[in-house]
Amino acid sequence: MRDAGLVTVMFIYSETEQYFHTRNPFASGGVYEDPATGAATAAFAGYLRNISWPHGGVIDIV
């Protein structure tokens, strides 16, 4: 991450089209395993909406 100039990244695993696992590590700040935070999760949900993700009206992000 440091070599690429990144402060944080978001890891996303889609279990189904409606159920996602997300993590937002902040390795440069010493946090290596951080569950999805509200701001990052809201941004991800907005991204799914913007790309017209086929969710059938329900998305769960854990």
pLDDT in tens, the chain (62 residues): 778 887 778 889 999 989 998 888 777 777 776 665 677 888 888 999 899 988 888 888 88
- pTM for this predicted structure: 0.69
In a 3-state reduction of DSSP, which class is residue 27? helix
φ, ψ for residue 40, nearest 5 deg: -65, -40
Domain ranges, ordered by start, for the chain: 7-32+47-62
List, in sequence order, the alpha helices (H) in the chain.
38-50
Length of the chain: 62
Q: What is the Cα–Cα distance from 18 to 57, expressed in whole angstroms?
A: 9
